[in-house]
Structure 1
Amino acid sequence: MTDDQPQRAARVDHTPAVERALAALDLDAKARLLSGQDMWTLPALPGIGLRSLVMSDGPVGVRGQDWSAEDPSVALPSPTALAASWDPELARRTGHLLAQEARRKGVHVLLAPTVNLHRSPLGGRHFECYSEDPLLTGAIGAGYVRGVQEGGVGTTVKHFVGNDAETDRLTVDNRIAPRPLRELYLAPFEHIVTNAHPWGIMTAYNQVNGSTMTEHRYLVNEVLRGEWGFDGCNVSDWTAARDTVRALRGGLDVAMPGPRTVYGAPLAAAVRAGEVTEAEVDDAVRRVLLLAARTGCLEGVPAAVDPAGVPQGIDGRALAREVARRGFVLLRNEPVGGARRALPLDATALRSLAVIGASARDARVLGGGSATVFPDSVVSPLEGLRAALPEDVEVTFAPGADPRTRTPYAREGFALRARYLAADGRVLAEAPQFDGKVQAVGHFPAGVSRDDLAAVELTGTCTPRTGGRHTFAVAGTGDLRLTVGGAVLLDERCAPEGHDPFEAFMHPVERQVTAELTAGEPVDVVLRFVPFSLGLGEGMDALHFTLGHREPQLDPDAEIEEAVRAAAAADAAVVVVATTEDVESEGLDRRDLRLPGRQDELVARVAAVNPHTVVVVNSGSPVELPWHTRVPAVLLSWFPGQEGGAALAEVLLGTHEPGGRLPTTWPTRIEDAPVTTVTPTGGRLDYSEGVFIGYRGWRTPAAAPAYPFGHGLGYTDWEYESLDTTPDSVRVRLRNAGERPGREVVQIYLAPTADAAPDAPERPDRWLAGFAVVEAGPGESAETEIPLPDRAFAVWDEDGGWRRVKGVYTVEAAHSVADRRLTAEVTVG
């Protein structure tokens, strides 16, 4: 399949079929089609051959209609990890895999990718976005969209627009001036629409400049559809549509979820009352029918992609491992004791390795919120290293400092099943559980209905790895009874706290109990849950409760001391530090960038006793690293997906090179970042920094970041040999000057010179204009040509319109925004 095939496929003329189907519908059917029939689907209309169109959350996997572990999904690394590859082709290949997963699960439209920008490091959902830079975001997002849609599955690029933080996201009015709105926040969407032709866009909860995005006539109808030519379907974020008339006239096609929305019967009534016209409804219906035709949901109409050309047979685990490796960013790699650099580890010389950190054993591979999927297996860093190292290498483990405030879900040593029961005890359904989190949103397992379901039992065995007093935890809104080894440890009615039903559902209060267990001796475990409610509103079926487990622990001081002793006795130490779902998750922003718990202290103590300390940072977005100059190696793994531990072992041991470069700047302190305000005042958040976010706004040398945008080390060295440039493109030649094969990301920046036009507006010191990935063996040279788009020389004029700024520019070929290797000048007339 060639790169231009999806564009050709997208130009298949579905107009006659859409018009025939539209003509056969009455007003009530049209209005019903624009409203979700449940959490994830649109209604079928058999009279016109329209099947029910199914949507599913992404972006790191395809969950399907069941938000539970009943139907596992491949779990890829976080979007920040994918963006760290700087490789749109890799993003395209992940799209192929996700389309394969979607087809397997009967999904027609993936609710992804998320292309909002990293405006501030405090944004709690940054792990789900790509970058602080609009060009990099747009390029990775376009690759992702191409790949998914080449697989015959639609995408909905989200969240259009300005959903750059989580605080008060349902109501906040983000005030963004025209120039930053165009040059930064709209730019990724524009790039994707014009280059990848997505079949859908999701409009955000928030307001922009006084209008909620589900009703924003200017940005949706005039900019998105008018200027950019978007011909796809506009879907609301879930529950974001608020007003029937304003939503329809604001360009919203589909209101989700159903069955009760501002469309459906209220829309038909609005037409009959003369508040909107049926012709306006018809325009929205045409776009929904076009989406159905493209995804093969309209009978007798060929889909946009021929099934014979759809990529198939993709190994999900192998690709997840590759994306993880390609996204790992080696931040620091210094010599140890005047000898070779700390990484890669020399497995032939290594006799003992201390693996330290709770997250080394209980891996955090995903961010929290709607991006969550349920893989069938996870490789932790500890498991990956033990499997990859020779048998004669002694690997010891110590948790050191556990950052989690809640008890982790029961997984290691557990074999669990969920049994869904009727009031008379009949088993309605039964399914294996990956861990102790039982959840369904929008759709119960087959055979289970809200009317019949009375209780759920999570049942199975626990085989402890260690003996002693184990902690069990339960959480859920309802009656909970926990039995371990035949003894009832807890039998309580757990009521919700607060007034937010979504918060009570997703984060119920946790109860803890303990039990004395013997290592290696299985015990029966049963958690019976009788929920207070089985919904989050009309038609929104929902169920959520959890069983947590923690092995016996020393007191916190003793845990750190044990880790220090293990590190002191080993040839090298690998310390894994991580954030938690209380820090990085949809629905909340971060208060600071500190690692939770005593992890900073743990790193400092380990580094003091072992000079060969490697720190792996398991977070989806920036954290402060106050110890980074005191350890020889720091590797950023992001949230690395289900194969993260295997990929980590390959990189640490040098069978593969860490391929990533930072897609966002990592500050030394949050106070140094250009934007530190994500909390609205009086319902309003002013983007007063204008275009100066991320590296564009890092203009004070005294507050230089810890690691700049674009930074990342490999296991070889590169010499940049030549740079030739014209106003249209640059050609860079470079040589691998090391002893290993390697991969380099060539970054091209533009910087205005003193000879710039006198009327030029204030601009950043430099900005990314293009990039390319090159590979070469030891001593080999590589050459790449990188286009310079006309937009790179333009600014958005406050009078409205793009203006090419004439003058002389410095063109910089760079390893990062702060490591510029070659420069040339180009004059733009």
Structure 2
Amino acid sequence: MIDELLNTMTLEEQVSLLAGADFWTTVPVERLGVPKIKVSDGPNGARGAGSLVGGVKAACFPVAIALGASWNPALVERMGVALAGQAKSKGASVLLAPTVNIHRSGLNGRNFECYSEDPLLTAELAVAYIQGVQSQGVAATIKHFAGNESEIERQTMSSDIDERSLREIYLLPFEKAVKTARVMAVMSSYNRLNGTYTSEHPWLLTEVLRQDWGFDGIVMSDWFGSHSTAETVNAGLDLEMPGPTRDRGEKLVQAVKDGQVAPETVREAARRILTLLGRVGAFEQAPDLSEHALDLPEDRALIRRLGAEGAVLLKNDGILPLTKTSLEQIAVIGPNAAEARVMGGGSAQINAHYRVSPLEGIRAALSNANSIRHAAGCRNNRLTRVFAGELTVEYFAGTLCQGMPVATERSEKGEFFWFDLPHAALKLDDFSVRVTATFRAEESGEHVFGMTNAGLARLYLDGELVVNGDDGWTRGENYFGTANTELRTPVMLEAGRTYRLTVDYLSPPPKEEGITITALRFGLEKPLGDQAIEDAVAEAAASDVAVLFVGRDGEWDTEGLDLPDMRLPGRQEELIERVTAANPNTVVVLQTGGPVEMPWLDKVRGVLQVWYPGQELGHAVADLLFGDAEPGGRLPQTFPKQLADNSAITGDPAIYPGQNGHVRYAEGVFVGYRHHDSRGVEPLFPFGFGLGYTRFAWSEARASAKDMGADGITVEVDVTNIGDRRGSDVVQLYVKPLSSAIERPEKELRAFAKLELGAGETGTARLTIKPRDLSYFDVEARAFRAEAGDYDVLIAASATDIRSRIAIRNPAVWLAAASDRSI
């Protein structure tokens, strides 16, 4: 069928398939019955074609680092199945997920969106996710291929990575996704790799991906991430996104006529697009692109369970779980207590069906609501609190907010991200908006108005200009680096008085290169001062236990910018110090997208890391605090004692954050625990670490053989739950070479198994390793090489907790060419 279509298509029709029609759909060929399909952002939900801050509601699942902390591929596969259903509810046939870039540093803004610092753990979870999604006839899109481990200058930065490190660390999740999960789509990254944009990198897209690994799906650009015509097509980039095309269309037709691109190259790219349409069933039944909300009880239950599975208990001196019946007063304190921080920021955002805050979850779990005392203590938001209230939004043709509005909408939130406009007469590069609202000040005193805008904007209060986001506009750090840094202005307000707020927004001119965004965000807040901390201290002092909800939110953990450091923002560390001084029975619940420094660790009795676990946040946290669920997580990323202990943070800007358009991965394969092990740097909490509410006894490990053969070696460990409640444990297998011709990490994770056991129950972890698990990548031989000699198999509960050691031997050198299709 596909050959018949290709034979019938004109060159122009084949070319039309190789770029999007708009932001989210492909181009149909109506003459031949070729339908269009829709793609949707993931990875912790399926947003559909809506704005990043609105649109049809969708189920909000835990972010990827929380899934990484679960160490539970089977459960992640179930999530993939559920996400496929969510994608279908948005009319989408392709889900733009999972994200599998490696946690190189603790500062990457998208650290939360990636699974782990370890390529094997990342790969196993990605494979499970993809298999779940694709089992339902929806294509998964693994991203970002490759070297996108930072958000700093990501659209132009060159990640300079040697081939050994690429093959062993950064490419392995993609390789497994292709060879094991048969992923249908790959998304190229924005950055350059060793000087060449990944979207036009023939070694990456053709030699490695297609020739070495046998990938037969499509490669698409990240949005606005292609930069050329002939170069991208010849390198192996099939689909330019979004549309309408900038570099294909007539330009590509002419490139074929001029001999810069062979007709066969276009035909094969078009073949791959048509093959994808066939794989998602688009030829059998043209997709219904309409969108609706799908809120299923089974999805709610799965999200709640995933939240517990990924929560990591970092410290517990016996205070947890809390006993409901013995608590007369519990203080629920912190900036994340009454706020439901359910996801990170950027393109992973969705309009969640609902959000349960920790305070709401605790209230629902306790029969006596009067036993709960609450205080925020301080704020941790990076941007001014977004305006909430009834807003009138008027759209005008042209950029002057003049004449009659073309369209009028209502909104309840002062944030707008326009992919589409509400009327055909409006164009994204030539429209304006007037947003108006009235509000009543609740308190007297100094308030702060803040605004950030991609485009030009001015905010007025009762007709007086308060924030000028027009004159002198310069690019800053918001909206993927397309908006200005937030401008803030203090204003004195009077309690009880009604004010009229107006914002005029003018769309930005189109850009020839890079991302063009039309977005606006404005907010209003009364700063919290010393009294807020005093109030929190008083509530803590009057309670039996204080639970402190601290961390960050999606304004910090977001696409488009990296973190400035690994400290808790705002006055949160001060808040912890003051609360623990008032009540030593303090538990800290952390919400971050990665590691944080903990100078306060010795002063608290418990620390629970819950990441951003989705819409059931509050219920999942209450389950964990009161023992209705087990914290089943283990760290997927090392928590260093201080930022300088990270392998990428050396003080040399060429290594991080980058210099002169290049960031050099000088640490090579020594990322995460590989660095801490091999360089003797003691972590705060090691990779793979996590406590639980029960205890386990492990038997000595036993191996099926002492010599490595083609079928590998299977290691078994019996694990017994010797506690009095159900729980889970993770058995980790690391391989340690006893000698090597090259420098290698002290040990590397090669297999793992998670066991869930009832009280008194015994289970057996079975872990298989094969010759490649002993290998490193030999660049000169262009092959994975396992040297002959002795190795130790280490059975561990974390990177620093070795429980058993088995000596094995590789009797002869083993080589597998880079083009070997097995893994």
Structure 1-normalised TM-score?
Answer: 0.88
Where 2:383 maps in the other structure, the secondary structure is: coil
Percent of paired sites with the same residue: 38
Task: Give 3-state SS (helix, strand or coil) of 1:360's partner.
Answer: coil
- Using a 3 Å threshold, how does the CA distance of structure 1 residues 665 and 650 change in structure 2: closer, same or farther? same
- The 5-angstrom pairing of residues 469-488 of structure 1 reads 473-476=450-453, 477-480=455-458
Deviations 1:687-720 (A, max 9, x none): 2212111001113786311000000111101110
Asked whether the 8 Å contact 1:260–1:538 carries over to 2, the reply is no
> Which of 167, 173, 179 lines up with 1:182 in the alignment?
167
Contact 1:344 1:652 in 2 (8 A): yes
Aligned residue number for residue 724 of structure 2: 739
**Residue in structure 2 matched with residue 576 of structure 1 by the alignment:** 549
Give 1:438 deviation, angstroms.
2.3
Distance 1:469 1:631, change over 3 A: same
| DSSP 3-state at the match of 1:342 | coil
Which AA in structure 1 matches 2:469?
Answer: C
Q: CA deviation at 1:426?
A: 5.5
- Whether 1:546 aligns to 2:521 is yes
Partner of 2:355: 378
**Structure 1 residue 428 and structure 2 residue 399: aligned?**
no
The CA distance in 2 between the partners of 1:605 and 1:194, in whole Å, is: 53
Asked if structure 2 preserves the Cα contact closer than 8 Å seen for 1:253 and 1:284, the reply is yes
Distance 1:330 1:790 in 2: 35
Alignment match, 2:310: 327
Where do 1:24-423 residues align within 5 Å? 24-67=8-51, 68-298=53-283, 315-334=298-317, 341-391=318-368, 393-411=370-388, 414=389
Question: Which residue is equivalent to 2:487?
Answer: 509
Partner of 1:689: 667
**Per-residue CA shift, 1:594-653, capped at 9, x if unaligned?**
111221121122112211100011100111111112211001111222221221111011
Given the superposition, is the C-alpha separation of residues 595 and 313 from structure 1 closer, same or farther in structure 2, using an over 3 Å criterion? closer
Kindly indicate whether the alpha-carbon contact (under 8 Å) linking 1:418 and 1:459 is maintained by their aligned counterparts in 2.
no
C-alpha distance in structure 1 between counterparts of 2:287 and 2:339, whole Å: 47
Cα displacement (A) at 1:270: 0.3
Query: What amino acid is the match of 2:316?
Result: N
Contact 2:406–2:423 (CA under 8 A) maintained in structure 1 = no
Task: Write the letter of the residue equivalent to 1:279.
Answer: E
User: What displacement does 1:278 show?
Assistant: 0.8
Q: Do the aligned residues in 1 keep the contact of 2:308 with 2:621 (CA within 8 Å)?
A: yes
Q: Mean Cα displacement is larger for which, 502-511 or 319-328?
A: 502-511
Contact 1:663–1:710 under 8 Å retained in 2: yes
User: Which position in structure 2 is the counterpart of 1:649?
Assistant: 622
Partner Cα separation in structure 2 for residue 525 and residue 107 of structure 1 = 43
Q: Which residue of 2 aligns with 1:624?
A: 597
Match of 1:605 among 578, 595, 620: 578
Give, as a single letter, the amino acid of the residue that structure 2 aligns with 1:722. E
Deviation at 1:312, TM superposition (A): 11
1:437 aligns with 2:410: no
* Offset of residue 444 of structure 1: 2.5
Distance change (3 Å), C-alpha of 1:53 and 1:508: farther
SS of match in other structure, 2:699: strand
C-alpha displacement at 1:250, in angstroms?
Answer: 0.8
String of CA shifts for 1:510-544, please: whole Å, max 9, x gaps: 455454345xxxx9886544321167558998542
Aligned to 1:795: 776
Measured after TM superposition, the shift of residue 762 of structure 1 is 2.1
Structure 2 runs not aligned, ≥5 long: 289-293, 650-654, 705-711, 812-823
Q: Which residue of 2 aligns with 1:4?
A: none
Q: Distance in 1 between matches of 2:440 and 2:771?
A: 62
* 2:790 corresponds to which of 808, 815, 819: 808
Q: What's the secondary structure of 1:226's corresponding residue?
A: helix
Secondary structure at 1:774 match in 2: strand
**SS of the residue aligned with 1:814?**
strand
Q: Report if the CA contact (8 A) 1:440-1:541 is conserved.
A: no
Tell me the alpha carbon deviations over residues 167-201 of structure 1, each in whole angstroms, 9 at most, x when there is no partner: 22222222222211111111111111111111100
In 1, Cα distance between equivalents of 2:664 and 2:742: 21
Partner of 2:766: 785
Moved more, 506-515 or 734-743: 506-515
- Contact preservation (8 Å) 1:420, 1:448: no
d(CA) in 1 for partners of 2:149, 2:577: 34
Superposition deviation, residue 566 in structure 1: 1.5
RMSD of Structure 2 on Structure 1 (CA) = 2.8
Contact 1:718–1:736, Cα closer than 8 Å, also in 2: yes
Task: Note if contact 2:696-2:720 (Cα within 8 Å) is conserved in structure 1.
Answer: yes
Q: Over residues 226-270 of structure 1, what are the superposed CA-to-partner deviations in whole Å (9 max), with x where a residue is unaligned?
A: 111110000011222112111111111111222242211111010
* Partner amino acid, structure 2, of 1:294: R
1:498 is aligned to 2:489: no
Calculate the TM-score normalised by the size of structure 2. Answer: 0.89
- Which range moves more in the overlay, 627-636 or 162-171? 162-171
Report what 2:821 is aligned to: none
Partners of 1:417 and 1:319 in 2: CA distance? 38
Number of residue-to-residue matches in the alignment: 782
Deviation at 1:747, TM superposition (A): 1.1
Structure 1: stretches of 5+ with no match in the other structure:
1-16, 304-310, 335-340
1:298 is displaced (CA, Å) by 2.8
Contact 2:303 2:615 in 1 (8 A): yes
Per-residue CA deviation, residues 653-698 of structure 1 (Å, 9 max, x unaligned), is 1111111100010000011122214222332222221211100111
CA contact (8 A) 1:745 1:815 kept: yes
Contact 2:446–2:490, Cα closer than 8 Å, also in 1: no
Question: Which of 63-72 and 345-354 deviates more?
Answer: 63-72
* SS, match of residue 241 in structure 1: coil
CA contact (8 A) 1:418 1:438 kept: no
Equivalent position amino acid for 2:473 in 1: E
After superposition, the Cα gap between the structure-2 partners of 1:35 and 1:218, relative to the gap in structure 1 and judged at 3 Å, is same
**Structure 1 residue 314 displacement after superposition:** 6.2
